[in-house]
Structure 1
Amino acid sequence: MDENNLISKKELLDLMSISYGQLYRWKRKELIPEDWFIKKSSFTGQETFFPRDKVIDRIKKIKDLKDDASLDDLANLFSNKAAEIKLNYENLLSQNIVTSETLNICKELLPKIHELSFEEVLYMYVCDKFLLSGNISLDESKTLFNTLMKSYLNFNGKDFDVIFIRKMGVGFCILCSAKNKFYVEDSAKVVMNLNIGKCIEELKLKLK
């Protein structure tokens, strides 16, 4: 955890204009993850801190959406659990979930099916974000897609980062628990890093 990117509970309540009761109700409802509540020693005893960017972004979304959705619905939106969907390839294009370029690449790597699982749509969505960034090639997106297909379920719904690294012109993908730090050698470059939890949240909003 980056010590410079933490915000205290008092600062958070003041900044976001929310009460102690609201914050802990959202925690009980699992809108704010337990592991974002970080206990640290301070000159006044023990104080609670949060990852600044994540918690501020989450509270903004809760405040924006809470009038149109129940807290249970929001908890489902923010969780890493798969959504129940019934989509085919044509739906992905008509709903602007992925581009045709990404869809054509991924179709080559999937079984010849018409109805897609949430996980398969997620793999395509992540690949699309990488491709649209201009940071990876079409061939590298296949490596990314295959890595997600083979390893995504190993995380059992836990949060992780999708990291693409290039060394001497050769690209490769790793999936790393969001809590863990990673290091690369000097001759390798981290091309792009996406958090899977944030991608799941974005995709659920698109599918809503």
Structure 2
Amino acid sequence: MDPNLISKKELLELTGISYGQLYRWKRKNLIPEDWFIRRATFTGQETFFPREQIMSRIAKIVHMKDDLSLDELADMFSPHLAGTKLTYDELVEQNIVSANTLELYTKYQGKPEVFSFEQVLYVYVLNRLLITGEMSLDESGGLLQVLCDHYPSFEGKPCELIFVRKMGISTFVLVPGATEVHFDSGVKIVSRLNLAACIEELKAKM
């Protein structure tokens, strides 16, 4: 069995939540429909989940459900873009991204009067990969091109950004959330970012 997946039975045992809670949270859109993965096993059909994502999501729900309603949690977890717009100065003052990252963004994409939430997400992902040292300055243009050209086509649906290198050449790929992607042995996966999780982090900062 894929180690990146966890069965429903194991999930309920590890988290201590009930079957009813799990499906109530699904109905309230706290857990995405596409995280419920049906697979054939020797006992028949079973439900599995992306292990890291579901464990992290349930931990957040359990931690925050006493302070926020389920509707408020659903809004926070929603991958749909908020209508918030921020200026260049507000992004720096609120410590969302660094001034250096914003300068790099405007080098490739120009300087908008205000940044839409979508643009804030792009510059946030750029900032994150630069801070960790996983991406060089020269690779920034490729990242922004992929995000700007292709992220809108997902129309708010969960997706992941995969950053790979082969023989020193970098490539960025956007795939639907919880998708298995296989590369040849010469490809190194540098980073795999869940953009819905990045949106959650952004909403908390804003």
Provide the TM-score with structure 1 as the length reference.
0.88
| 8 A Cα contact 1:130 1:141, kept in partner | no
The aligned counterpart of 2:88 is 89
Superposition RMSD in Å:
2.1
Q: Structure 2 matches for 1:135-146, cutoff 5 A?
A: 135-146=134-145
More deviation, 36-45/124-133:
36-45
Number of aligned residue pairs: 206
Which secondary structure state, in structure 2, belongs to the residue aligned with residue 3 of structure 1? coil
Letter in 2 for 1:167: K
Cα distance, 1:189–1:44 mapped onto 2, change above 3 Å: closer
- Can you list the C-alpha shifts for 1:73-108, whole angstroms capped at 9, x where unaligned? 211211210012131111111111112221110122
Q: CA deviation at 1:157?
A: 1.8
Q: Is 1:59 aligned with 2:58? A: yes
Mind listing any 5+ residue stretches in structure 1 that lack a counterpart? none
Residue 133 of structure 1 is matched in structure 2 by: 132
1:106 maps onto 2:71 in alignment: no
Q: Is the 8 A contact 2:25 2:31 kept in 1?
A: yes
Q: Aligned residue for 2:154?
A: 155
* C-alpha spacing 1:47/1:172, structure 2 compared with 1 (3 Å): closer
Measured in 1, the distance between the counterparts of 2:192 and 2:50 equals 18
Which residue does 1:33 correspond to in 2? 32
CA contact (8 A) 2:35 2:178 kept: no
Percent of aligned pairs with the same amino acid: 51
User: Partners of 2:43 and 2:189 in 1: how far apart?
Assistant: 40
| 1:201, distance to aligned residue in structure 2 (A) | 1.5
Distance 1:9 1:115 in 2: 44
Q: Which residue of 2 is the match for residue 122 of structure 1? A: 121
Unmatched 5+ stretches in structure 2: none
Q: Does 1:194 align with 2:197?
A: no
